[in-house]
Structure 1
Amino acid sequence: MGHLQNFISGRRVDPSSPPPYLLKFRSSKTFILSTICVAVFTDIFLYGIIVPVVPFSLTSRAGVPESSVQSWISVLLAVYGAALLVGSPISGWYADHSSSRRLPLLIGLIAMVGSTVMLCLAKSVALLIVGRIFGGLSAAVVWTVGLALLVDTVGQAEIGETLGWVSLSMTLGILVAPLLGGIVYEKAGYYAVFYMAFGLLVLDILLRLVLIEKKMARQWLDDEVTNSDSSSDSSISPNRNEDAVVTDARNKHITNTDEEKVVQSNPSGTTEAAPTSSPHISKWPAMFSLLKSRRLCAGLWGCVVQASLMSSFDSVIPLFVQDTFHWNSVGAGLIFLALVVPSFAAPVVGWACDRYGPRWPCVAGFCFATPFWILLRLVTHNSLNQKVLLCALLALIGVSLTCAMPGLMAEVTYIVEAKEKQIPGRFGKNGAYAQAYGLFITAYAAGTLVGPIWAGYVEDSSGWGTMSLSLGLFSLAGAVPCLIWTGGLITKSNAKTAEERAANPLSGVTNDTLATPRDAEDIV
């Protein structure tokens, strides 16, 4: 019974409790990364897989008239985005104040299962809306808590490469889900789509139950054993909570010793309190402090642009290829493969961000995408050359967006780490990674709302060419703040590798004699 309890909870019930089965494997970086990638893919997949069946649900099951279907589809999309917008900061705050990242992940899993069941069985618009709300809330938990757990696990040195794998999972989910949903719905019917969804959910449930956080594993493993399992982790320990306790104890000892020396050396014999510095923990959530960072605001803007560009395809590409090339739903889904293939390079881009900094991959991605967006206006009629041109341009846009996303995700970690280096302990013992990624996912959700509306409205009112031009210019607008702020102010000598960031967390700001502490705070 003890083994079963430890397997489910991951906690040590009492000193005599046996370690969980396969403890090292279940708390390893590889397994935790795989679990989070599957969770992200599952969440995005469940969001996209029902897109082909929503019109059927509205008309045949919920009794919505054909003339109102498009309006209700927009409502369902907006409800999901709104739940994600509201839920991301809240779940981030909760995760940073919870003793375990695993518990919020399991809560999010319950919301995801509930959402899928409701959408499968819904025969009213109200139940469809509630199901979409639960889906948005589960997505908020998966993203904020999952990304924070990865930072806790791998540290700063490898976070770019690690988030590259997450970015790959996200992109695959976005682009593969509508394709599979359309094919399965056309060949096997309504419920077959949800059978596929429930099968993926079972895998996700098993992985989340088996996962054990590294800080839980340390209840049984010696520090030396744990460190050998994560020998390639960041030189900045991801387990800063435990390190902070040791460091705090050492600092207290040093402070006391210094105070004694001051008392002994004071000729008047009076005691004077030695100046001590303790971290000021604001009563306000850490996200408000983070939002004062120009670097973070630049990263959030880049995320809005990237998500808008990626999600804009969902609203215009299927209708465009249907009207121009007379393709059916399967062909409209297969065209997205041109965007999927480049996403496999995301881990390589993340590795480059870890090694050389995130600025130039992000800037290059947005700038590189601009001409190819504009050149989409050349695709105007039905011919083999036009089909090849469309696929080639989509592939090049996919390469560009793949360059931008891992760096933007990693930049969030770099910023939080730099702020903690400025004032150790400022965000409390649990840090602020979940809240930071809550802001990131909020920006991403905003982008997924803006992109389809922008692309659909401009294409409908002004045509395909104007739509491609406007989104190309929007991509360029994403590059400018990233050029100035991502990785640190461009006019400063900025740290690139994890070692440099650890040695110089302010990215060169403190080397400027004219820089004030407020400048350093806002820049980082």
Structure 2
Amino acid sequence: MFSQTPSAHGFPSSLSPAICGYITDRVQKRQIPFLTGVAAVAVGTALLCESTHVAWWIIGRILQGAAAAIIWTTGMNLLVDTFANDSLGQAMGYSSMATVAGTTTGPLLGGVLYEHGGYYAPFILAFGLIGVDFFLRVVIIDPRGRKSTENEEPRGHGRDRNAEEKHNDHHPNPLQEEKRASSKAWDRLSRPSNYDEPPAEQPAARRAGKFRLLFSSPRMFVILWVYFLVSVTVTSFDSVLPLFVRDTFGWTQTAQGLIFIPLMVPNILDPVSGYLVDRWPACRRFQSSTALFAAVPVLVCMRYVTDNSMRDKVLLCALLMLLGVCIGFLEPPIMVEISSMVEDLEARNPGAFDRGGTTALAYGISNSAFAAGSITGPFLGGFIRDRCGWATMSWTLAMPLGISGVLVLLFFR
């Protein structure tokens, strides 16, 4: 499943990923946005725990949503800088699997702790996890700082080189002077008559801005569209599926929650999907388009779940599992496509992306699209089911996925 932690909190997450992505590109140490996000999560959880007014609960959820967006975007950028291109897809797969495991087990653990330990038991677990998370963010090693340290020359070596250059200036070697003069003469002869020295930077490219360069690529629009559309599809079931199994099968609240397990379990295959992306990077767009095309008949076949029978119950669980497989095989290639797109833009526009590149910004914008879909999905799914029924909702969600598969084939590299 697509990483839903930032977008699970609705509106505050729809803009904050892009904002914190820009900040992450500018900040030298990633511990700063990481620790800021963890602190915001702690404050938001404390408000939910102790507040008695609905306004404070809303503020707490806003803080949690914004903090989750900051942590997710910074974490994705950290993965890109840590892992090489031939292992990035598998790393993204493990990240997605861990995210889905947390979002799946969290409500279950919270319900059990609340039932057997009382009101404060779930919050004790939450604050304990926040404390562990805070410690891990402090001890994390930023690969950007490590690479810059490795690239620095030892001070003694630098002094020796400077001393040698000064010695050569005072005591020139005739042979070296002859080579230097011939090299300069060759450079002058090899240049065309209208040759001008290239500028050290490209101010026009810098003035264009990161946003303009990102959206100059059609791949960016396709990525945002796929993120938005898949988010709409998945979150539509959040509002519709519990009501559907209640009305059709007469299931209670416990069974209504467990029906999401078949949709989540296939995400254990995310690392496998990432391995395929790393092993055959040229097939990335075919893997993405195949997953989108395969989701179309799965969604359409949900119209055949109509009766309170064992056959229909098994069919619904099987279709949800197949849908989870399709989405699980879709996320790693999309995530790697973002990184590949940024690398291509940097290669075509050298100097346009200043310090830190723009990877975090690209991931932040894409997750903003996913968060916007998570807001639209529940309303759209519920509206279509109430007005037109379950069968119409299934094929209405399926058609745009098929169109997206064609766009992926045309524009992905």
State the TM-score, normalizing by the size of structure 1.
Answer: 0.67
Partner in structure 1 of residue 222 of structure 2: 298
| Paired residues of 1:324 and 1:380 also in contact (CA < 8 A) | yes
Which string of whole-angstrom CA distances, capped at 9 and with x for unpartnered residues, describes residues 5-40 of structure 1? Answer: xxxxxxxxxxxxxxxxxxxxxxxxxxxxxxxxxxx9
Aligned equivalents of 1:459, 1:186: Cα separation in 2 = 33
| Paired residues of 1:179 and 1:334 also in contact (CA < 8 A) | no
SS at match of 1:155: coil
Between 409-418 and 192-201, the greater mean CA deviation after superposition: 192-201
Partner in structure 1 of residue 272 of structure 2: 348
Change (3 A) 1:285 1:126: farther
| Paired residues of 2:22 and 2:361 also in contact (CA < 8 A) | yes
* Larger relative contact order (CA 8 Å, sep ≥ 6): 2
| Aligned partner of 2:324 among 398, 402, 427 | 398
Task: Report the identity percentage.
Answer: 35
Partner in structure 1 of residue 303 of structure 2: 377
Between 389-398 and 331-340, the greater mean CA deviation after superposition: 331-340
| Paired residues of 1:259 and 1:274 also in contact (CA < 8 A) | no
Which string of whole-angstrom CA distances, capped at 9 and with x for unpartnered residues, describes residues 282-326 of structure 1? Answer: 245412310121011111111111212222221111122222222
Change (3 A) 1:266 1:333: closer
Aligned equivalents of 2:181, 2:298: Cα separation in 1 = 65
**Deviation for aligned residue 1:212:** 1.5
Change (3 A) 1:402 1:271: closer
**Deviation for aligned residue 1:415:** 0.3
Partner in structure 2 of residue 231 of structure 1: none
| AA in 2 matched with 1:325 | F
SS at match of 2:216: coil
* 2:20 aligned with 1:91: yes
**Deviation for aligned residue 1:470:** 1.0
| Aligned partner of 2:101 among 149, 172, 184 | 172
SS at match of 1:353: helix
Partner in structure 1 of residue 5 of structure 2: 44
| Paired residues of 2:232 and 2:374 also in contact (CA < 8 A) | yes
Partner in structure 2 of residue 136 of structure 1: 65
Aligned equivalents of 1:459, 1:187: Cα separation in 2 = 36
SS at match of 1:282: helix
Partner in structure 2 of residue 501 of structure 1: none
Partner in structure 2 of residue 101 of structure 1: 30
Partner in structure 2 of residue 323 of structure 1: 247
Change (3 A) 1:288 1:182: farther
| Paired residues of 1:182 and 1:329 also in contact (CA < 8 A) | no
| AA in 2 matched with 1:122 | S
Aligned equivalents of 2:139, 2:305: Cα separation in 1 = 49
| Aligned partner of 2:385 among 431, 443, 459 | 459
Bigger-Rg structure (1/2): 2
User: Any gaps of 5 or more consecutive residues in structure 2?
Assistant: 154-179
Partner in structure 2 of residue 21 of structure 1: none
Change (3 A) 1:116 1:276: same
Which string of whole-angstrom CA distances, capped at 9 and with x for unpartnered residues, describes residues 396-434 of structure 1? Answer: 111111111111111110000111122233201210011
Partner in structure 2 of residue 522 of structure 1: none
| AA in 2 matched with 1:413 | S
| Aligned partner of 2:126 among 197, 202, 219 | 197
Question: How many residues are treated as equivalent by the alignment?
Answer: 382
**Deviation for aligned residue 1:259:** 8.9
Partner in structure 1 of residue 141 of structure 2: 212
| Paired residues of 1:44 and 1:170 also in contact (CA < 8 A) | yes
**Deviation for aligned residue 1:392:** 0.6
| Aligned partner of 1:286 among 210, 213, 218 | 210
Between 149-158 and 391-400, the greater mean CA deviation after superposition: 149-158
Aligned equivalents of 1:202, 1:367: Cα separation in 2 = 43
| Paired residues of 2:5 and 2:72 also in contact (CA < 8 A) | no
| Paired residues of 1:303 and 1:440 also in contact (CA < 8 A) | yes
Aligned equivalents of 2:181, 2:55: Cα separation in 1 = 67
Change (3 A) 1:201 1:464: same
